[in-house]
Amino acid sequence: MKIIVCMKQVPDTTEVRIDPVTNTLIRDGVPSIINPDDKAGLEAALTIKEQVGGTVTVVSMGPPQADVALREALAMGADEAYLITDRKFGGADTIATSYTISSAIKMLDYDLIIAGRQAIDGDTAQVGPQIAESLGLPQVSYVERIEKIEEDKITVRRQFEDRYQIVEVKLPCLITTLSELNEPRYMSVAGIFGAYREKEVKKVTFEEMKEYVSEERLGLKGSCTKVKQSFPKQAKGKGTVHEVSEDEAVEIIMAKLIEKNLI
């Protein structure tokens, strides 16, 4: 089983700061981690490898410092790591990002692609499904459990708000995973040694990919989304407390619902 895990390095914080001029995240002084949903996907891939054999290849698109996250993945047990990095890829929205990643994946062999549901610094949940569309693969999103893996198909449990689905899909395919799927393992001492002394994070630049891509679809130039303004999440305002009877409480609630045009 040849498994590819798509992974992103993200800021280790929910208190993001925005540059008011460029409308991009300020990452200076903020430690980075493997995106939690992606890390659950990596753990799922390593578990499948232990059950049925095969290889786990981790792919990430980002700046050179994303090398650290990829080496952590190698230390956890991944076999290979590829960092897609080039100034031409900078400023990409989800469609340009997924196009670049899927173009790099075309250079590799795979039976299963695993991506996290969404990244904590963007929360779009778009890149995984867009990669599947670009590669022409069947996909299952919001996977909370892998029920069974077979030679030519995988059975997963897909989460909904109030229920779940059991989905059987033929390989090759792509699934997106939730952080609730599992508890990712720690890096081993031997794994850390191997990740920094024996294994290589292979850089994939525009030059290596140019026969697979159209330059017009890369980076900021290839992005359909144009950011007009960005701002951090606003703190929730203090609520109003009404010490009233049950009947009066109903009247207050109904009046607010009418005021907000909800009823």
pLDDT digits (tens, 9 = 90+) for 75-87: 999 999 999 999 9
Q: Is residue 12 part of a domain?
A: yes
Cβ neighbors of 162 (< 8 A, separation 6 or more) are none
The total number of structural domains in the chain stands at 1
Residue 111: C-alpha distances to residues 141, 193, 204 (Å): 17, 29, 21
Question: Given strand 80-84, what is the order of strands in its sheet?
Answer: 164-170, 153-159, 139-149, 173-177, 112-116, 2-6, 55-61, 80-84, 201-204
Residue 84: C-alpha distances to residues 60, 101, 190 (Å): 6, 8, 26
Q: Is residue 235 part of a domain?
A: no
Q: Is residue 42 part of a domain?
A: yes
- Which is nearest to 85 in space by CA: 198, 9, 14? 9
Which CATH number is 99's domain given? 3.40.50.620
Q: Is residue 244 part of a domain?
A: no
Q: Is residue 135 part of a domain?
A: yes
Q: Is residue 114 part of a domain?
A: yes
* pLDDT on residue 3: 96
DSSP labels, 112-166: EEEEES--TTT----HHHHHHHHHT--EEEEEEEEEEE-SSEEEEEEE-SS-EEE
- Which is nearest to 232 in space by CA: 4, 1, 6, 23? 23
Q: Is residue 9 part of a domain?
A: yes
Residue ranges making up the domain that contains 16: 2-217
* pLDDT on residue 212: 83
The token pair at 250 is 């109903």
Q: Is residue 248 part of a domain?
A: no
Residue pLDDT, tens place only, 109-135: 999 999 999 888 877 889 999 999 999
pTM equals 0.79
**Torsional class of 136: left (φ above 0), alpha (ψ -120 to 50), beta (otherwise):** left
Residue pLDDT, tens place only, 22-58: 666 665 666 788 999 999 999 999 999 999 999 999 9
